[in-house]
Amino acid sequence: MTQVNPAVGLGLPSSTFMNPADVTDAVLGGNVLGVVNYTTEPTEPGIENGALTIDLHMAHTADEAFAEVWTTDRPVETGVVREVAYAHDGEYLIVVGRIPQAGRYTEATRAAYCTALELMDGLGYKNCFRMWNFVADINGDNADGLEVYRDFCRGRAEAFELFHFGDQEVPSATGIGALGGGISFYFLVSRSAAPTSVENSKQVSAYHYPQQYGPRPPKFARATYLAETHTDRSGGQIYVSGTASIRGHETLHEGDLVRQVELSLDNIAHLISRDNLAAHEIERRTGLSDLDNIKVYVRHREDIPVVQRMCSEYFSPAARTAYLNVDVCRSGLLVEIEGIVP
């Protein structure tokens, strides 16, 4: 599991899934932007062995743990500002933060996000192209009876508004359950590469969801196309958000695992299809077999073998794929899938 995905075309930061036992050697052997450990206990973000590191509580046992290691071919600078830690190489920035477990999350989410957004501005990184959010007890209620995920979404939306982060500028994102640790997040940001938000014509944009999904809608794009310049419409990479069994804005096939997996895969296939990308003036021909760095989130442990079998029919055997047993952003959803098209 220690192979490194070489940077493709743009000199983008590379990412690989790695055995935790091999991380120290990787950190000492190269320029590491960040280490995200999917493991059995959460930690605060910080600098470890000179590398930005955070532990997410996403694994039930040590055998399930893995690390996602982001590398670059440039020298890396690191630091910590209030709730967030960061690393950057002059072109790409990773910002990592954690919000402690609490009865309410709106204010703390807004504050932590504002710290991250202020840091991005201060360092001169304007183009956020991917976000991950890991939310403990995501379908539970906060102290006021509001679902924790909706509580988080309200704080995120307020932070975006304070920084004039318009709907057409929001990046692709994943909001997924965690096994503990409050809320952890990390962002990928570019100084000069050009992101384009991509929506799925078969789904309502998440930021236009009706109020039945909470006081503020989720603020993310279905995917982000990242290229060297705005005129490069064929050589970039596609960062696919966490994708589930949703059409329009409604959850479909509640209680039916097979049909939910099928619809999730179909949503991704359509999202990255030639016709849908062309509607965003992107000239790429891609499919599910082109996905890499795939994470598949499965609500029920006993469903994982079925999900693995179904996904293996569509994903390349060479694709890095991790399966995680955690809750999903809506209580009726059984699976969520994300990935990157290099």
Residue-wise pLDDT tens digits, 159-200: 999 999 888 889 999 999 999 999 999 999 999 999 999 999
Catalogue the E-assigned strands of 50-181.
51-57, 66-72, 77-81, 84-88, 92-99, 127-136, 172-178
Interatomic CA distance for residues 38 and 44, integer angstroms: 13
Q: Any idea which residues carry the catalytic annotation?
A: 336
Average pLDDT taken over every residue of the chain: 94
pLDDT value of position 13: 63
Share of the chain above pLDDT 70, in %: 96
149 is in an annotated binding site: yes
pLDDT value of position 250: 98
Mean pLDDT score, 304-322: 98
297 is in an annotated binding site: no
209 is in an annotated binding site: yes
**pLDDT over 50 at 1, yes or no:** no
**pLDDT over 50 at 303, yes or no:** yes
pLDDT value of position 12: 63
- Spatial strand order in the sheet of 292-298: 194-198, 223-227, 237-243, 335-341, 292-298, 321-325
Catalogue the E-assigned strands of the chain.
14-18, 31-39, 46-48, 51-57, 66-72, 77-81, 84-88, 92-99, 127-136, 172-178, 183-190, 194-198, 223-227, 237-243, 246-247, 250-251, 292-298, 321-325, 335-341
pLDDT value of position 24: 92
Interatomic CA distance for residues 173 and 289, integer angstroms: 21
Q: pLDDT (tens digit, 9 = 90+) per residue, 258-279?
A: 999 999 999 999 999 999 999 9
Share of the chain above pLDDT 90, in %: 88
pLDDT value of position 3: 33
98 is in an annotated binding site: no
